[in-house]
Amino acid sequence: MADGDFSIEAAWDLSAPCYVRKLKRGSYWYDARPLPDRVDTIIEKDFRLDQDGVVSVFEVRSGVDLRRVAVGLNATRDSLSEDIFLIAISPDELQGVRAEPIPGDTKCLWANRLHHNLVVEQQSAFTSVVESLIRAGRKPTKFSRKKMGRAAEEASREGCYATRDRAMSSDPCVCERET
């Protein structure tokens, strides 16, 4: 069962619900540089506003949510079983940042329903958010190829569209049927 690999409590010692975001890498989150320098790098690499001027996150309440989000995110990459780095943010850490539910555009319909945009006036709004994550000792969590491989197998059993071409079959996927 892949869901034990995606326990929110085990990954971040946080209770659900929380928001998760994909990171470039984990290393610069806890290098030896002073806090303001690390915060600048993290904002630059991981909290850059996209072309719509927002930052994309997923609200997760369970290991199943987290697993499906990770697979959905990997579906746009070279392989479903690539290593993926994720960070979690609790709702009360989003000071001055609004989380708006809006359907995502991954291939996983379940993940898409969990998608939110973080809306800010300026990218600098993330400064206090990132500072509070670092002060709380939050760590990027790497979900390894091994875990992602098991997650991809589970997604395949569920018929998730992240693992197959939706147009090729009319069988509904679990992500579509369950609510």
Binding site residues, Zn ion, CB under 5 A: 108, 110, 160, 175
Note the Cα 96 to chain centre separation in Å.
20
Least distance from Zn ion to the Cβ atom of residue 175, Å:
3
Nearer to Zn ion, 26 or 159 (CB): 159
Task: Tally the residues of the chain.
Answer: 179
Least distance from Zn ion to the Cβ atom of residue 178, Å:
10
Q: Which residue has the tokens 């994720």?
A: 86
Least distance from Zn ion to the Cβ atom of residue 91, Å:
24
Nearer to Zn ion, 23 or 160 (CB): 160
Least distance from Zn ion to the Cβ atom of residue 24, Å:
24
Least distance from Zn ion to the Cβ atom of residue 9, Å:
23
Nearer to Zn ion, 57 or 108 (CB): 108
Nearer to Zn ion, 17 or 159 (CB): 159
Nearer to Zn ion, 93 or 154 (CB): 154
Q: Residue 16 to residues 30, 52, 90, 166: CA-CA distances in angstroms? A: 24, 28, 8, 31
Nearer to Zn ion, 23 or 175 (CB): 175
Query: Which DSSP string do the residues of the chain spell out, in sequence order?
Result: --GGGG-HHHHHS-PSSEEEEEES-SGGGSSSS-HHHHHHHHHHHHS---TTSEEEEEEE-SHHHHHHHHHHHHTTSS-TTS-EEEEEE-GGG-TT-EEEE----SS-HHHHHTEEEEE-SSGGGHHHHHHHHHHTT---EEE-HHHHHHHHHHHHHTT-TTSS-GGG--PPPHHHH--
Least distance from Zn ion to the Cβ atom of residue 30, Å:
32
